[in-house]
Amino acid sequence: MAFIRLHNLSVEFPIYHGGSQSLKKMLVAATTQGNLARDAMDRINVRALNDVSLDIEDGDRLGLIGSNGAGKTTLLRILAGIYHPTRGELYSSGRISALLDVAVGLDPEATGRENIILRGMYMDIHPREMRSHVDEIAEFTGLGPYLDMPTRTYSSGMMVRLGFAVSTCIPPDILLMDEWVSAGDASFLEKAQRRMEQFVGDSSVLVLASHSTELLRKWCNRGVLLQQGRIAAQGDIEEVLEAYARSLAAHIQA
């Protein structure tokens, strides 16, 4: 059974050269927001997530919403294992696939076929398992003989095709997404959208960060509103979206 557990989790990033006058001014200006602080080494730390506790259960479709800088992408990267918490605990069960950047894990000097295996290793999939998917991935990309060429010769659209096809070749237990993946040129987009919908449907847990309330309503049953690295609201997706709308209205009035 897939699940994710976060308990009192915080993430801080040190800003080096914290003794500079400009950063001292920044620290003073940000004290009311509470997302900057000094540590024992007199460095200024940006607190991207602050004391976050969250249980994500099998069957949950969780939408993350909040303004830019609220902590959505940081939270996704923590769940994906890209970042590590400064404090707190994280437990998870199930294979995780993170569609945060479909080009991550691709070597520009390697061929497309070689990159299928490399990207699989980045996704913690054994090369033997990935080799069984090479033909299907090759057909889906439509790249033909380009798969035997170094990916540094690819256009950006071709890189997206390859990265997307590899990332979605094996349905995960837990799917993490930062916005909805758009897959390059129009000729490939419709096919990619169909696969994406099936991919989401086959996963046990979905965590989707987006600014699109329409997208969150379509795919999510639960929501979390993040503000300055803290959970400001969580629960039914409609209730959380209403809380987000109220926070936007209050900010405009202020």
Q: Do both 188 and 162 map to the same domain?
A: yes
User: 80 and 119 share a domain?
Assistant: no
Q: What is the mean pLDDT of the chain?
A: 87
Same domain, 38 and 61: yes
Please report the pLDDT score of residue 236 as a whole number: 97
Secondary structure letter of residue 29 according to DSSP: H
Considering the domain architecture, whether residues 35 and 110 belong to the same structural domain is answered as: no
**Same domain membership, residue 132 and residue 77:** no
More confident position, 56 or 40: 56
Amino acid identity of 114? E
For residue 70, count other CB atoms closer than 10 A to its CB. Answer: 21
Residue 106: pLDDT band with limits 50, 70, 90: confident
* H or E element in which residue 129 lies: helix 127-131
Number of domains present in the structure of the chain? 2
- In this structure, are 102 and 199 located in the same domain? yes
Query: Which of 248, 245, 225 lies closest to 235, judged by CA?
Result: 225
Mean pLDDT of 125-135: 94
pLDDT at position 184, please?
A: 62
Backbone angles phi, psi at 5, to 5 degrees: -125, 125
Instruction: Mark whether 196 and 243 lie in a shared domain.
Output: no
Kindly state the tokens that stand for 122. Answer: 């980045």
In this structure, what CATH number is given to the domain that contains residue 140?
Answer: 3.40.50.300
Clarify whether residues 113 and 198 are in a common domain: yes
pLDDT in tens, 161-218: 898 899 889 888 999 998 876 666 777 888 888 888 888 889 999 999 999 999 999 9
DSSP state of 169: S
Q: How far is residue 17 from each of residues 20, 21, 31, 69, measured CA to CA in Å?
A: 6, 10, 19, 22
| Residue 193 vs residues 40, 173, 179, 200, 239: alpha-carbon distances, Å | 49, 19, 13, 11, 28
What is the spatial order of strands in the sheet that 230-236 belongs to?
96-99, 174-178, 205-209, 61-65, 222-227, 230-236
Bridge partners for 14 per DSSP: 45
* Together in a domain, 78 and 121: no
Residues 194 and 222 placed together within one structural domain of the fold: no
Residue 143 sits in which domain range? 98-203
pLDDT higher than threshold 50 for residue 29:
no
Q: Among candidates 123, 128, 106, which has minimal Cα distance to 170?
A: 123
**Those residues with Cβ within 8 angstroms of residue 8's Cβ, 6 or more apart along the chain or in another chain:** 51, 52, 53, 87, 88, 89
Residues 222 and 242 in one domain: yes
Pair 31, 12 in one domain: yes
